[in-house]
Amino acid sequence: MFNVNANGAEIPAIGFGTFRMPGSDVLRMVPAALKLGYRHVDTAQIYGNEAEVGEAIANSDVARGDVFLTTKVWVDKYRHDAFVRSVDESLKKLKTDYVDLLLLHWPQSDVPLAERIGALNEVRDAGKVRHIGVSNFNTALMAEAVKLSKAPIVTNQVEYHPYLDQSAVLDAARKAGMSITAYYAMADGKVVDDPAIKAIAAAHGKSAAQVVLRWLVQQQGVVALSKTVSAERAKANFDIFDFELSNDEMQALHALARPNGRIVNPGHLAPKWD
């Protein structure tokens, strides 16, 4: 396991994601993931499971200070007062007095970006948040966020898998000292049956999922989120630090990108993508 350094934040390269994970599964899987060695847990206000994430971490054998915890403010809480209140509510649910990383979940909003970035900085200055970032931003919005923020922006959490070329966003992030946090790494399960990925996996004695996660974390400044409700798969997804992909294998995976590769694109929330 290694960390990604982004504008002063040390982010564990593989995170355990809880998107669409019911509370009962969170209570079972987060302690199991922490026991396996995961030290990065990702949730969000809209997931409806912050309370279970907080309970699972509090009841685990791992100290809160050893867990990198991320949550995200939902779009209906972007006005300043609602924003600050929502962060306090998240902290209460998460049973902690700070989160390691707080993100704006989606960019589309009537609330000016300056107000949202200002609120992010305010909760950071108050010690409620160690680092701040964004999610689902395009390169123009990333640049605007960086310009507006007093504190460094440490990540942009975006969809990223072999079928989606994110080189423009990656280049912009690297230039700004930011990381990219990849979600939907398995492309809704498509990578598992891909012949090209399976061939690379067979050469390393690994699974297709392990190869894709390795491909992500082997790229400079990329953090990967892995989500599963199976302890066995969680173990396999974490077991990606004992092999390395060759340059040819990395390029073969990049070559799978296609124009219609994007999966997550809600019109009322998403920006104009790069």
Cα torsion 261, 69, 116, 23: sign: positive
Is 163 a residue of the active site? no
Buried b (16+ CB within 10 A) or exposed e, 58-87: eebebebeebbbbbbbbbebbbeeebbebb
**How far, in Å, CA of 18 to CA of 77, rounded?**
20
The backbone torsions φ and ψ at residue 100, rounded to the nearest 5 degrees and listed phi first, read: -75, -30
Nearest-CA neighbor of 234 among 4, 60, 23, 36?
A: 36
Are 185 and 214 within 8 A, CB to CB?
Answer: no
**How far, in Å, CA of 140 to CA of 169, rounded?**
9
* Residue 146 DSSP SS3: helix
**For the chain, percent helix, then strand, then coil, each to nearest 5?**
45, 20, 40
105 belongs to an annotated ligand binding site: yes
Nearest-CA neighbor of 7 among 215, 183, 175, 158?
A: 175
Catalytic residue among 47, 78, 160, 163: 47
Residues belonging to the binding site are 105
Q: Which residues are catalytic?
A: 47
Residues belonging to the binding site for substrate are 105
